[in-house]
Amino acid sequence: MRLCIVGGALQGMEATFLGKKADFETVVLDRKPTAPALSFCDEPHVLNPLENPDEARKVFESCDAVIPACEELDLLKSLDSMLSGSSVEFLFDLESYGVSCSKKRSNEVMSSVGVPLPQPWPECGFPVIVKPSSQSGSVGVSVAFDQEDVERGLDTVRTLGDEPVIQEFVHGRSMSVEVIGNGDTARSFVTTEVMLDHNYDCKMVRCFPDLLSPEEDKFFGKIGVDVAEAIGLKALMDVEAIDTPKGLRVLEIDARIPSQTPAAILTGTGINLLEELVASRTDRETGRTNSGRSGIYWHMYQKDGVLRTNGEKEFGHVRNPRMERGLFGSDDSITDYESGSKDWHGTFMVSADTPEKAEARRESVIKKIIETCQVDTYIDGTPDVI
Ligand SMILES: Nc1ncnc2c1ncn2[C@@H]1O[C@H](COP(=O)(O)OP(=O)(O)O)[C@@H](O)[C@H]1O
Ligand SMILES: [Mg+2]
């Protein structure tokens, strides 16, 4: 399988990592020469398909499949029209992506199939979340404790030229589940827990078999399947929910390859979602089953004597990374660390047969970094509790 990945940033690194793990030949295309996935794929191309469509088409036609790893709507639309009707599989579903880009539309679909959502305002009372319907990456999201805060939040949403979603502020762990659909039926995969840094950016993903009770876990999987089938998903999407004391409340869906959770799932269970997506398009089964092990995936960043855990936005600044096995005792890593360097980024992955042993392995990787890299201070930031 020769796979072209369009976009070499965070999603592109994820797709390249998964592709290489599946033994695919990986071709990455990005208009920026500094895009990090270019340095560890098999065949990098610095190229913008919107500016050089003929050159891009040649690359696509040399591949079996193309997956976009970007969220630029113009580019996605252009790829869709370039590849529809060609013999190259386009591992993307523009229509479902359109639904998932609008929280208003996706909330309507989800309500119609009985998915539990945070209660809308004003029924729910304060505090509430005010967020723009069509942004991503927590852009323009705010918490409101009174009417004045709501007005401020609405101003922010208006500045973004967007429509607001105002809903109950729900508390609990952030959970994610991935779903692959063939346009008709869908299959949910493994539940993961997403942990945030001080900027509310995802710094770590845990893939443990017992994150939810068996009933809740089954219910989360069913939510994923119901939503995917309701929108006719013909690709991969993730469902993000909060595990509240009253049960799961779904925040959003995103019909594109996510970053971080698939690599965590591969580490924990041996299931490769990119390989599954390719198989679903060719009506094959990968035959892989969940090993039931536990995996942890997390980012680190050292600058001078300070070592921090950090969100993926900071990890996006990694320069010319490579994939390396065994670094500091981890299983896998994506990093620009060189012996003696004091300014580097790394994503590490460890697995073990129990969650406790996986946590112990993570601690031991961090300890080894502290010993090896002349670290004076170690900071593991978390969001301020509201
Ligand atoms: N109803 C809510 N209650 C509590 N936190 C929320 C709620 N909605 C969003 N958030 C927080 O804001 C973040 C971003 O919101 P989300 O709906 O996922 O939009 P996006 O990721 O597209 O910006 C979430 O990860 C979560 O931390
Ligand atoms: Mg989100």
Question: Residue 161 maps to which CATH number?
Answer: 3.30.1490.20
Using DSSP bridges, classify how beta strands 65-68 and 142-144 pair: parallel, antiparallel or unpaired: unpaired
Is the same domain home to 6 and 54?
A: yes
HEC secondary structure over the chain: CEEEEECCCHHHHHHHHHHHHCCCEEEEEECCCCCHHHHCCCEEEECCCCCCHHHHHHHHHCCCEEEECCCCHHHHHHHHHHHCCCCCEECCCHHHHHHHHCHHHHHHHHHHCCCCCCCECCCCCCCEEEEECCCCCCCCCEEECCHHHHHHHHHHHHHCCCCEEEEECCCCEEEEEEEEECCCCEEEEEEEEEEECCCCCEEEEEECCCCCCHHHHHHHHHHHHHHHHHHCCCCEEEEEEEEECCEEEEEEEECCCCCCHHHHHHHHHCCCHHHHHHHHHCCCCCCCCCCCCEEEEEEEEEECCEEEECCHHHHCCCCCCEEEECHHHCCEEEECCCCCCCEEEEEEEEEECCHHHHHHHHHHHHHHHHHHCCCCEEEECCCCCC
Judge contact between 40 and 322, C-beta under 8 A: yes
Q: Which of 168, 184, 203 is the last residue of a domain?
A: 168
CA 158 – CA 153 distance, rounded (Å):
9
Cα-based distances in Å from 216 to 119, 220, 246? 19, 6, 11
User: Does 14 score more than 50 pLDDT?
Assistant: yes
pLDDT band for 385, please (50, 70, 90 cuts): low
pLDDT digit string (tens) for 227-264? 999 999 999 999 999 999 999 999 999 999 999 999 99
pLDDT at 386 over 60: no
Measured between alpha carbons, how far is 45 from 59 in angstroms, rounded to an integer?
9
Nearest atom of ligand 1 to the alpha carbon of 139: 23
Given a cut of 60, is residue 360 above it in pLDDT? yes
**Structural domain span for residue 130:** 119-168
Number of domains in the chain: 4
Does residue 106 sit within a domain?
Answer: no
Are 277 and 175 within one domain?
A: yes
Check if the beta carbon of residue 126 is closer than 8 Å to that of residue 112.
Answer: no
CATH of the domain at 85: 3.40.50.720
Under the banding of pLDDT at 50, 70 and 90, the label for residue 381 is confident
Q: Which of 281, 309, 343 is the last residue of a domain?
A: 281
Give the rounded percent of residues in the chain with a pLDDT score beyond 90.
95
How far, in Å, is the centroid of ligand 1 from the Cα of 374?
37
pLDDT bucket at 383, cuts 50 / 70 / 90: confident
Tell me, what's the pLDDT at 197?
86
Co-location of 176 and 241 in the same domain: yes
Instruction: Report which protein residue has its CA nearest ligand 1's atom 20.
Output: 136
Average pLDDT of span 68-85: 96
Separation of alpha carbons 115 and 224, rounded Å: 9
On average, the pLDDT of the chain sits at 96
What is the arithmetic mean of pLDDT over 359-382? 95
Report CA(252)–ligand 2 centroid distance (Å). Answer: 6
**Which pLDDT score, from 0 to 100, does residue 137 have?**
85
Q: Are residues 184 and 128 in the same domain?
A: no
Q: Which of 124, 126, 141, 160 to mutate to test the pocket of ligand 1 (most atoms within 8 A of CB)?
A: 141
Q: Whose CA is nearest to atom 15 of ligand 1?
A: 138
Side chain identity at residue 125, one-letter code: G
Q: Residue 200 falls within a domain, yes or no?
A: yes
For residue 190 the two structure tokens come to: 């493994």
Q: Which of 71, 119, 138 to mutate to test the pocket of ligand 1 (most atoms within 8 A of CB)?
A: 138
In a domain, 257, yes or no: yes
Q: From the alpha carbon of 141, which atom of ligand 1 is closest?
A: 12
Neighbours of 98 (CB within 10 A): 16
Question: So what's the pLDDT on residue 283?
Answer: 83
Verify whether ligand 1 is closer than 6 Å to residue 119 (CB atom): no
Domain-ending residue, one of 281, 310, 342: 281
**Within-domain flag for 188:** yes
Which residue has its alpha carbon closest to ligand 1 atom 22?
136
Distance CA 27, CA 43 (A): 5
| Protein residues placing their CB within 5 Å of the ion ligand 2 | 240
Q: Does residue 112 sit within a domain?
A: no
Average pLDDT over residues 176-198: 96
Are 157 and 168 a contacting pair, CB within 8 Å? no
178 falls within a domain = yes
Q: In this structure, what CATH number is given to the domain that contains residue 183?
A: 3.30.470.20
pLDDT computed for residue 124 by the predictor: 96
276 with 175, same domain? Answer: yes
Give residue 281's identity as a one-letter amino acid code: R
Distance 251 CA to ligand 1 centre (A): 6
| Same domain assignment for residues 245 and 190 | yes
Instruction: Indicate whether 177 and 272 sit together in one domain.
Output: yes
The per-residue pLDDT for 201 is 86
For 267-294, write each residue's pLDDT tens digit. Answer: 999 999 999 999 999 889 999 999 999 9
167 CB near ligand 1 (under 6 Å): yes
